[in-house]
Structure 1
Amino acid sequence: MKQLTNAEEEIMKILWKLEKANVKAIIEEMPKPKPAYNTVSTIVRILENKGFVDYEKQGKGHVYFPVVKQQDYSNQTINTLVDNYFQGSFKSMVSFFVKKNDISLKEMESILKDINKKD
């Protein structure tokens, strides 16, 4: 799976949220200042070429929908981060974030409780 640019990821987040949308609907979800229609249309076509979205013909236009699930992309992105910056060690990554964000023992216990609930 290819990595997305920030602009591509922003559009994918909108498509994951809406599930299906034309370019106009995507633009409506974007913050001001709104990008040009052609810019968003071009990015959506790039996402289609990368295999992230597909479309259905609707009248004269297209309605786009995600082909890649957000969870799958998130997992791949996190794995790439761990591989590239933490030598493949999730333990090193967690340790880094705990130290960097000054997480207390109480917060760590709460995080571990949440993790154990999901098992």
Structure 2
Amino acid sequence: MKIPENTKSRPQELTRAELEIMQLFWAQGPSMVNGLLDAMPEPKPAYNTVSTVVRILEKKGFVGHKAYGKTYEYYPVVSKESYASRYMDTVLDNFFSGSLSRLVSFFSEHKSITVEETDEILKMLRERR
């Protein structure tokens, strides 16, 4: 699943509430608003709040819907991988001047990276060559 054309023209970042609902869509697939609410932790937001966020996601091009009479089933239009890739590209460009080595350096300085994780990163880089 790729990011639709209407969202490609401008970088789209999700708000915390939008991302929380997208995480539910990515985990459980097509859902009605009640299904999303059931999957949310306590304290649950109001039905209208979730419904509004879902409609915003649809307007932004992240969610689509199928109508069954007056009931709507919503589904993700953008995959988690596609969003993560686009988001990380933005982070890389905006904070690390597009430099992957600067990004890795940042994480090595601010997060403790184990020897196993370092080996895993090196292995992935070798495989991509």
Task: Give TM-score, length-normalised by structure 2.
Answer: 0.83
Q: 2:118 aligns with which of 97, 103, 108?
A: 108
Structure 1: stretches of 5+ with no match in the other structure = none
- Whole-angstrom distance in 2 between the partners of 1:101 and 1:38: 39
Q: 2:43 aligns with which of 33, 44, 67?
A: 33
Q: Is the partner of 1:83 in helix, strand or coil?
A: helix
- Whole-angstrom distance in 1 between the partners of 2:41 and 2:116: 37
Partner of 2:69: 59
Deviation digits for residues 20-55 of structure 1 (CA, Å, limit 9, x no counterpart): 000000011111100000000000000000000010
Change (3 A) 1:117 1:28: farther
| Alignment length (residue pairs) | 119
Q: Which has the higher contact order (CA 8 A, sep 6+)?
A: 2
- Whole-angstrom distance in 2 between the partners of 1:21 and 1:62: 9
Partner of 2:3: none
Q: 2:56 aligns with which of 46, 58, 63?
A: 46
Structure 2: stretches of 5+ with no match in the other structure = 1-6
- Whole-angstrom distance in 1 between the partners of 2:15 and 2:40: 16
Are residues 1:90 and 2:100 paired? yes
